[in-house]
Amino acid sequence: MTRQQRALRTRQALITAAATVFDRDGYSTASLTAISSLAQVSNGALHFHFANKAALAGAVQQAAAQQLDILVQAHRERAGNALQLLVNTSHDLARALAADVVLRAGFELSRSRARAGTGPGLHQQWHAWVGAALTRAAREGVLGEVAPEAVATFVVAATTGFEVLGTRDPRWLSHTTLTRFWQLLLPRLAAAPALTGLTAAGTRPH
């Protein structure tokens, strides 16, 4: 293994360890010693890659933003219409938040007042994508008489609320919870002719 490969592996290990400690302890109380210990590297190696805890948190947010972008782009051509696309993507986001500590910590850091104004805003990133999907649904004629931006704000508030609640109770990020949410919401969102073709449980295996 080359020196560059070792450096990349060390950096990734530190990002994953930092996300784990931030997720477990919170950003304010997380210690660099705990992060370096979990990553199995020295404090010196940590400081070689990251000047301080804020820099590590920024790297976690950036990694999480990249993962969120990959997740939403993966659905671009997989749904029959933009409303089904939104449903499917929300289910995959919930699964990813439950399973991926980097994505979960990235959302928490994005929300935290201690980190406000720094790094990518994952909630804003998710809001922009949801808004674009609903605007596309309106163009396709599958959205009812509702304003896409107003609906986007509601959907983002609900789905990111599930993310917050899921940190204490994983059932909030379950397939069942998301399905019930869409069962309630889709009849109010979808144009009547489109409703029968929509699946609240998503159209991908879970």
Beta carbons of 14 and 55 less than 8 angstroms apart: no
pLDDT in tens, 144-184: 999 999 999 999 999 989 988 988 898 999 999 999 999 99
- Considering only 54-68, 101-115, 138-152, 190-204, which range has the smallest mean pLDDT? 101-115
pLDDT in tens, 17-48: 999 999 999 999 999 999 999 999 999 999 99
- The token pair that represents 126 in the structure block: 């998710």
Enumerate helices (H) and strands (E) in the chain, giving the number of each.
10, 0
The predicted pLDDT at position 120 comes to: 52
Q: Looking at the predicted structure, is the pLDDT value of residue 65 above 90?
A: yes
The predicted pLDDT at position 74 comes to: 82
The predicted pLDDT at position 94 comes to: 94
CA-nearest of 107, 34, 115 to 64 is 107
Q: Looking at the predicted structure, is the pLDDT value of residue 63 above 70?
A: yes
Beta carbons of 120 and 61 less than 8 angstroms apart: yes
Q: How far apart are CA 129 and CA 85, in angstroms?
A: 11
Beta carbons of 110 and 117 less than 8 angstroms apart: no
Question: What's this model's pTM, rounded to 2 decimal places?
Answer: 0.88
